[in-house]
Structure 1
Amino acid sequence: MSSRPFDAVLCDLDNVIRFYDTAPVAELERASGLAEGTTAEAAYAPEVDLPLLLGRITTEEWVDSIASALSGRVPPARARELGKALADAPFRADDVVVDLLRRVRGHMPLVLVTNATSELERDLASMGLADLADHVVSSARVGVAKPDRAIYEIAAERAGAAAHRCLFVDDRLENVEAAVALGMTGVHYRTPADLRRALSFLPDA
């Protein structure tokens, strides 16, 4: 029996490792007379967002869907401009979290489990994170998204660990609760301190 509490770490990407700068979108919304967050609200509605995350539509088609959802509030050209601005929002990786996760790989498998687009691999490479994890389970590649239990089972299988021996980290509570329901230990991520505490069992964390 292993003395360590987990045999694998499964970690979300967005709002844990990757963070978007939506200031350009907010500025465009203000110029259009829209409340800040209007574009994101339209873009992340399940009927607009889920087809993208399941790999059924392209990013350009997603932008078209956002523009359609914003129709009636702003002129068509501005609606598409808003959708494009959101799709092209710049992003960065949190260096503190990346460092913590790189330490994980010295002790056990690390798997990224993310609701993402088919452009995920390119995005990881652009941040210098193509080699961060042992495996990447992307909703757009496996055709199922969190909080569906199947994506957690795929991740645990790729990690080579039983569900009850996995630590799962995510910023969305519903995703954490789904992992816990499968027997995983869940961490509802808000700041790097949450991850640091969860990894305190590692000798170099």
Structure 2
Amino acid sequence: MDTVVCDVGGVIIRFDTGVAQQIEARHDLDSGSLLAAALKSPPGRQAMAGEMTHEDWKQAMTGLVGESAIDEWLAYHGELDAEVVALLKKSRGAGARVVLLSNATARLHDDLAFHGLSDLADRVFCSAEMGLVKPNPRCFREAAQRAGFALERALYADDTASWVEAGVRLGMTGHLFSTAKALRDTLESTGLVS
């Protein structure tokens, strides 16, 4: 095992649904409508697949939830899990390759920069830039090919079970993320940190 492949949203950076609910309340939006529009709507899926620019996505979201609500959401960069970041740094410091693989719009780089994480990983793969989204097997294979690692020598940590299962089917060792402690235990058991 020589590579850690890690999701970003829900693992390294958590987006508090309570913040979305507060924005919805301030803008008289239905509960749950902001995240549904941003992530689950056709424009949200298109933006994550690279079929729509971030600017076009923002315009589409403005039409769904209003410009001030989407601007407020975009000003929120989530909450950093410092323990996960420390584990990834420790693993990288011990010689492992660290690769981030995220279903996200191009905003991913802004979120990483906001938290001072632009150099956390050897490579960062954003689905919008790849034109491929997890759990598509091609997404994992292309990340491996471009970053120069073998899938069967990689640990894949994600908070979405079906995406972990997709990686496991390709030969990766899977870790369904729940806590930094559980991730640490998996990294230790695979020799990626000591």
Same fold (TM over 0.5): yes
Distance 1:24 1:51 in 2: 24
Show the 5 A alignment for 1:83-102.
83-102=70-89
How many angstroms does 1:120 deviate by?
2.6
Q: TM-score, normalised by structure 1?
A: 0.82
Cα RMSD over matched residues?
2.2
How many angstroms does 1:58 deviate by?
3.3
Aligned twin of 1:58: 53
Q: Which runs of 5 or more residues in structure 1 are unaligned?
A: 1-5, 71-78
How many angstroms does 1:160 deviate by?
2.7
Q: TM-score, normalised by structure 2?
A: 0.86
How many angstroms does 1:48 deviate by?
2.2
SS of residue paired to 1:110: strand
Aligned twin of 2:35: 40
SS of residue paired to 1:48: helix
- Alignment size in residue pairs: 192
Q: 1:20 to 1:103 in 2, by over 3 A?
A: same
How many angstroms does 1:170 deviate by?
0.4
Q: 1:96 to 1:56 in 2, by over 3 A?
A: same
Q: Which runs of 5 or more residues in structure 2 are unaligned?
A: none
- The yes-or-no answer on 1:20 pairing with 2:15 is yes
- The yes-or-no answer on 1:11 pairing with 2:6 is yes
How many angstroms does 1:169 deviate by?
0.6
Distance 2:30 2:115 in 1: 31
Contact 1:29 1:38 (8 Å CA) reproduced: yes
SS of residue paired to 1:200: helix
Q: What is the one-letter code of the residue matched to 1:29?
A: E
Query: Which of 69, 79, 97 matches 1:109?
Result: 97
* Higher Rg of the two aligned structures: 1
How many angstroms does 1:35 deviate by?
4.2
Distance 1:25 1:46 in 2: 16
Contact 2:50 2:129 (8 Å CA) reproduced: yes
Show the 5 A alignment for 1:1-205.
6-70=1-65, 79-105=66-92, 106-201=94-189, 202=191, 204-205=193-194
Identity %: 35
Distance 1:67 1:151 in 2: 29
How many angstroms does 1:84 deviate by?
2.7
